[in-house]
Structure formats: C-alpha cells, structure tokens
Structure 1
Amino acid sequence: MKNVYDILQERGFIEQVTHEEEIRNLLGKESVTFYIGFDPTADSLHAGHFLQMMAMAHMQRAGHRPIVLIGAGTAMIGDPSGKTEMRKMLTVEEIRRNSEKLKKQFSRLIDFENGRAIMANNVDWLMDLKYIPFLREIGRHFSVNRMLTAECYKGRLEKGLSFLEFNYMIMQSYDFLELYRKYNCKLQMGGNDQWSNIIGGVDLIRRVENASVYGLTFTLLTTSEGKKMGKTETGTIWLDAEKTPPYDFYQYWRNVDDRDVEKCLALLTFLPMEEVKRLAALEGAEINKAKEILAYEITKLVHGEEEAKKADAAAKALFADGTDLNGVPSTEIPGFEFEKGIHILDLLMQVGLASSKSDGRRLIQQGGLYIEDERVNDIDLIIYKKDFHDGQLMLRKGKKVYHLLKLV
C-alpha cells in the first residue's frame, strides 16, 4: 500500500513538517494516532475545515487513528493566529451548543465505530487545571522571548495582545501532551497558521516526557490569487445545510476559477490523481464539465448523494430550460405583502441577494440583476403580486446566482 504521506504530498496537502523522513517512516511502519483540533467558535464547520477533514479521512483509510479534538476549553481563550483583533468572547453555553453540532458533521467523513477514531474535548482537562501547579510543571518550559517571535503573536503586538490570548500556545501545547499521555498520540496536524502552536507541543513533549512526537501543517485553502476560499459576497460557505443550502454549496464549487480546478479536485475529492489531472487539463467550455464533477463530488461528501443529485439537476435545468427548480434557494413570502407592492431594494435584502440598500442599488446600476431573464434597470422598481407566474418569480444575480420567490 502507498504510504499516506506520499498521498498527502501528491495531492498538495502538506505545507510544513517538523521531521519529514521520520514522519514518513513512522506512517509507513505502524498505525499512528494523530490529532487535529477544532475550536467550536461557530455552530458549523466551513470550507476551510473541510480540507483538514479530508486529510483525516485519507489518514484513516490508510490505517491510522484520528482524534478529533473539540477545543471547548481553548475556545474560552480564543486563538490569536491570523487575527488582527481579539476574538469575540463566547459564553460557556454557546461553546457547549456549538460543540454538539460539530460532532455530527465529522461523522460524514470519519468512522468512529469500534474505536477507529476518537472524539475528545479539551474542556475535560483544561477547566480543572490549578494555576500555580500548571505554571510550575508546564509554564517553565516556555520562553516568552521565543513566543513573541512566533507568527501567531507577532502580528498582534502593535495593536495589543492580551495576556488571555498569550496563554493560547501553552494551552494547545498542553493538549498535545495530554493526548500523548492518554492515547499515545504522536502526530499533530493542522492548518499552516497553527505552525507555531504545533511546534510548541512537539517541544513540550520532548522536554517533559523525553519523547519524539511530530507536527505537520496543511496548505491553507486559497484561490490562485491568494485569497481564502470559502468566502462569498454573502458570507462564509458552511457545511451546515441550514446555513449554506446544498444548492448554494454546489454552485460555489461549480463557479470556481479555472485555475483552481486542479487544486480543489486534488484536495477536496477522493478522485484518483490520474482523473484529477485529466479533468484539470480540459480547456475552454470543456473545463465546465470538470467543475460540475468537482461540485457534485464535494456536495456528495458533505450533504449526501441525494442532495448532490438534486443540486446538480437543478443547476443543469436552470441553464437549460428552467423547468426543474427543485434545490434552487427559495423564499416563501405571504401573497398579501405584494398587494401594495414591495420595493426591489427591500426585496433583495429580504432574500439575501443584497446586504444593504446601497449594495442592491449598485447591483442594479451595474446591470447584474435579472427578473425572469429580463435585466432590471430601475432602482425604484416595485414588485406586485401580478408579476408572479403560478405563484413564482425567479430572481438572478449575475450569471449564476438564482433565487426563487414563492407566494404562500
């Protein structure tokens, strides 16, 4: 069997490693317990997390054991990595509720049956730590001078770094130590913005336990222009169907830039690399076929095959004759609201096609809004009940963002 390290490398996951040859040899000769941490700062995972979930799934398929670490304890502090300002403080109840929702999303890709994977929560050991004993046992191994040179802190020093956040690296390092002691966890993985924190854990275990453990970071999910993927004008692409409907999720991946197709196919699907290369080599209009496969495969992994088929059929129908609208985002509005008419800018905000009136006005002035394939040029247009056909009215933003209004 091919070494999973080579699989991750070939598909473009790996960004940095602490000891490349040692990690590769370890993954080739034994079943390794590894972990990735996810702080429950929201009630859903997003597209960036999905890349890490895929890496975990590749590792598990190769016989290694994942630990999904829900960071309910570290979420009470807030990770300063990549942030210019302090994160919003969540309540204990918000963190608990978010943690429960995240657990369900992992089961799509990770098999937790018969101990094949572990779901842990660092609140179990962080909340009961005694401050003075913790400083004496763990804190003494961390150099403040060295911590201040870490990327996760360096960018914050000008605006101010709170002592609360300064503890984050020590907490995450302690997580690794705890998981090593409890499960013989030898490898921590995470996004490349976690490099400093991961090194902290590797170094702590070497000092405290005199043991060799390892760290590996993944490339961040970015476009060819260097922007984070998974963000749109209307917000984040979530894995929760209630926050980002399956059709919208499908459409996001269907509309990625041509230059990003190969990267997304390699990182976010299980298609063999020969097929990834073949699809990425398509040119002109043919590349759209590759994008349809990309969107279908990712939607199937996140939302299931049935939802992927519905989204795929709805998208194709819209580009054909518009007959099958099952799966297209829609909003039901009471018919009486249209008796006196609704201003187009208010309507755009109500259904989420514009974030504000000025945003809607700009959309219309730039020629980007259509009603039933007719371009809207009037920023003071009023929509009445008589404008609906069979109780439905289709809005389109740009070329591919559709929204169906339904009278109830």
Structure 2
Amino acid sequence: MDLLQDLAWRGIIYQQTDAEGLKDTLGKAQISLYCGVDPTADSMHIGHLLPFLTLRRFQQHGHRPIVLVGGATGLIGDPSGKSEERKLLTLETVQDNVAGIKKQLESIFEFEGENGAIMVNNYDWAGSMDVVTFLRDIGKHIGVNYMLAKDTIASRLETGISFTEFTYTILQAMDFLHLYEHHNCKLQIGGSDQWGNITSGLELIRKVQPESSKAYGLTIPLVTKADGTKFGKTESGAVWLDPEKTTPYEFYQFWINTADADVVKYLKIFTFLSHEEIEQLEKAVQEEPHLRKAQKVLAEELTRLIHGEDSLQQAIKISQALFSGDVRSLSGAEIEQGFKDVPAYTSQKEENLVDLLVAAKISPSKRQAREDISNGAVTVNGEKITDNAYILVESDRIEGKFTIIRRGKKKYTLIKY
C-alpha cells in the first residue's frame, strides 16, 4: 500500500487539488512539502497535531518535511473560522511563542539524514519586505475578485474585515511561493480550514512560475468526537503540548479516557501503528472493551511521542498509584502532576485528623468527620485511619511537602505544608 492509500485508509485526506498529479509526482521522486502553524500562543495544543503527524508520515516514506512557524503571519492573524478581528500580538510575544513551538515540533520530526526536516520562520523573508515590493511583486498577481470569493473573506464581509486580515491569505501564498522557489517545495498540507489559503499559494505559483510548474495542496478533515462534543477540550480547557500547561499525566489521561466509539479512529490518525496492529486493537474494543487495550496503546503512543519515554512511565506510575491507592510510592514531583487539579489545603502545623478534615472542608462537621474516620472512609497517604485521635505528624508528609487524604472512593484532597 502506497502513502496516499495509507492516508485514505486512515481517513486523513479531506481535499486534494490534483489527486492524480500528486500521486504521479510522489511516485517519481522525493519531494519537499510543508505545513505551518502560527505562534498565537507559546504552545501548541492537540488540535494542531494531526497536520504535523501527517507531515511526519510523508517523511517516513522518504519525503522531506518543511516545518513552518509563522513569525510573520502570527503578527497579522488568520481570519479563518473567526467572526471578528483578532487582537494583534506584539513582535516580542510572537518571537517568544515561536521559541516555545519550535521545541515541540522538534520532538515530532527527524532533522538528520537524507530527508531530514527543515524548520523555517516566515518572518525571515516577510519581515524585511518593504510595502512597495509586496504590492508590485506579490499583490499584483492576486485579484480582488479572487480574494472575495474565498470563504474566509466572504464570511467576514458583513461583520467587517480589516485590510490587515484581508491580506493574510496573500502572505501565506507568499510562503508557498518562497518555499517552492528556495526549497523546491511541491505540496502544502493543512487542516480543512486552510483550503482557501493553500489554493491562494497555488494560484500565486501558477502566476509567477513557468507554465510547466507543478504544485499541490492537500487538506485534512477536522477531528470530531462521536458524541458531538469538541475534540481536544477538557473541563480545565485545551490539552496543551507544553508540560507546564498540561502535565504528561494529564496528557496521558486525556487519551486513555477516549470513548470506545472514537478510539480506533484516533489510533488511525494519531499513531504510526500498522494496519494489522490497529485491526487487532479494533477487535479488542469489540470483544473485550472493559480491558481498554486500545485506549492504553493510544495514550502510550502519544505520550511517548510528545513527552518521551521517561514522562510516559511517570504518567503510568501516577495512574497506577491513584487506581490502587498506593500514593506513598509517588515522589513530590509526581504528586504535583497527579493532584494538580484536586482541592488543596495548606496546613501550618501538626494537627488532629478530625480538625484537619473540617478545616480542609473534606468533611462538613466534626461529627461527620468522626463518623467518616470510624467507618474507615478516610485514608492518609493510602493508609486507612480509624482512630479519631490520630494526629498528622512529620512522618505523614511525603518529601516533607504533601499529605494526601482521601474520603470515600474518589474524593482526594492535597494537604500542603
């Protein structure tokens, strides 16, 4: 099975500008292709992953990926999917964001070897271009009527769009032309919302380059969930690739909690497992759904790719400790990851467990606290306490910083010192 057939099997292809032409070109020789991201934040989130993982699939088949970070386009703002103007970011903010995103992209691609990835920043060629050159060499080739026919532009005409955002698609077209001329880049890939920007680049190449020039565009479908809720969102917000924003444990938990209805699709589009491996896991979902084998593999593959083997093992350890209640086996750093979003209470002294339960709002009253303890409903660092006179002392503090109290089966509270 060739690359395009594999992409089709995985459900990754949404639109192509010239399917037969691209198939023929890919079959003849190595090509360079690119995908870009604008640095609107200092981290990407999992909604950014699929186009870049698709770019990685091309690299695995011998082609050279060009990874573009939009230092220039990030200063303008993509109108795609927006009903109003974006707030403009400062140059300093965008440059800081570029640095953060570059680190994350480096974990996805191979940068060594015959088809090692190239990372570029469009600020390097767009940032120094003067307005007259832009208007004469680029703007002259893009018709206003052509621009107005773009969905991203047309959808904003009633509510209003600035000239700044109006020119965004021209800047992205200029990226494709620049990469075509300087890196022999023949293909741009992106999410389905980027179709208009991609075809603008092809139009510019067609106008500027000789008639025999060939370039292509391919888009990827929007990732959806079977229940209709938005992919990549949790109660606490987006799932970021930055471990400071979304810890590796939280990242792992997001994937392991994937619904049975979605997990096979996610294995196809987000992992590099073979067809046979995915089909085996699909069979496990049907025959042994309670074992959640597919979810575990999905979580392991994605966490390893983005955060590395050590962080994956740490996430698995935290998950197992929370499931078994053996929280004393965790380090302070692991506790901070695993209990990032649980209620917390800061204690200044050694104190009676009953008083602490009330002060930390774990139990609503001293009477209830005593009942909870007597009934064996309270654990301290995974150990059941049934003595109402129990006092938490230095030895109850993990690494001198934390005590973990659980009331009932799932209600955890982190005591900090």
Distance, in Å, in 2 between the alignment partners of 1:235 and 1:134 is 39
Which AA in structure 1 matches 2:260?
D
Q: SS at the partner of 2:59?
A: helix
8 Å contact kept, 1:108–1:302:
yes
The yes-or-no answer on 1:300 pairing with 2:314 is no
How far has the Cα of 1:3 moved from its partner? 2.4
8 Å contact kept, 1:40–1:71:
yes
> 1:353 — aligned with what?
none
1:254 maps to which of 253, 256, 261: 256
Q: SS at the partner of 1:14?
A: coil
Alpha carbons of structure 1 residues 213 and 82: separation in structure 2 relative to 1, 3 Å: same
> 1:209 — aligned with what?
209
Distance, in Å, in 2 between the alignment partners of 1:106 and 1:303 is 11
Larger displacement relative to structure 2 (61-70 or 132-141): 132-141
> 1:358 — aligned with what?
none
How far has the Cα of 1:309 moved from its partner? 1.7
1:316 maps to which of 317, 320, 331: 320
8 Å contact kept, 1:3–1:24:
no
Residues 107-146 of structure 1 aligned to structure 2 (within 5 Å): 107-114=106-113, 116-146=116-146
Alpha carbons of structure 1 residues 5 and 334: separation in structure 2 relative to 1, 3 Å: same
Distance, in Å, in 1 between the alignment partners of 2:407 and 2:90 is 39
Normalised to the residue count of structure 2, the TM-score between the two structures is 0.81
> 1:220 — aligned with what?
222
Which AA in structure 2 matches 1:393?
I
> 2:5 — aligned with what?
6
Residues 8-407 of structure 1 aligned to structure 2 (within 5 Å): 8-114=7-113, 116-210=116-210, 211-281=213-283, 282-283=285-286, 285-286=289-290, 288-323=292-327, 324-325=329-330, 327=334, 328-330=337-339, 334-336=346-348, 390-391=396-397, 392-394=403-405, 405-407=414-416
Distance, in Å, in 1 between the alignment partners of 2:408 and 2:49 is 27
- Deviation per CA, 1:9-51: give whole Å up to 9, x if none: 2222111110001111211221110011111111111101221
Give the gaps of 5 or more residues in structure 2.
363-376, 381-390, 398-402
Which AA in structure 1 matches 2:73?
T
Distance, in Å, in 1 between the alignment partners of 2:81 and 2:294 is 33
Distance, in Å, in 2 between the alignment partners of 1:227 and 1:330 is 26
Distance, in Å, in 2 between the alignment partners of 1:171 and 1:395 is 55
Alpha carbons of structure 1 residues 99 and 280: separation in structure 2 relative to 1, 3 Å: same
Alpha carbons of structure 1 residues 140 and 237: separation in structure 2 relative to 1, 3 Å: same
Alpha carbons of structure 1 residues 217 and 403: separation in structure 2 relative to 1, 3 Å: farther
How far has the Cα of 1:338 moved from its partner? 10
Distance, in Å, in 1 between the alignment partners of 2:3 and 2:18 is 15
Which AA in structure 1 matches 2:125?
W
Which AA in structure 2 matches 1:67?
I
Give the gaps of 5 or more residues in structure 1.
346-369, 374-384
Q: SS at the partner of 1:186?
A: strand
How far has the Cα of 1:372 moved from its partner? 6.2
Alpha carbons of structure 1 residues 124 and 84: separation in structure 2 relative to 1, 3 Å: same
Normalised to the residue count of structure 1, the TM-score between the two structures is 0.83
8 Å contact kept, 1:280–1:287:
no
Question: What is the CA RMSD across the aligned residues, in angstroms?
Answer: 2.9
How far has the Cα of 1:394 moved from its partner? 4.8
Which AA in structure 2 matches 1:74?
T
Distance, in Å, in 1 between the alignment partners of 2:325 and 2:86 is 47
How far has the Cα of 1:160 moved from its partner? 1.6
How far has the Cα of 1:226 moved from its partner? 4.3
Distance, in Å, in 2 between the alignment partners of 1:260 and 1:29 is 36
- Deviation per CA, 1:90-116: give whole Å up to 9, x if none: 111111111111111112121112571
- Deviation per CA, 1:133-178: give whole Å up to 9, x if none: 3222221222323322322223323322111100100000011001
Larger displacement relative to structure 2 (130-139 or 64-73): 130-139
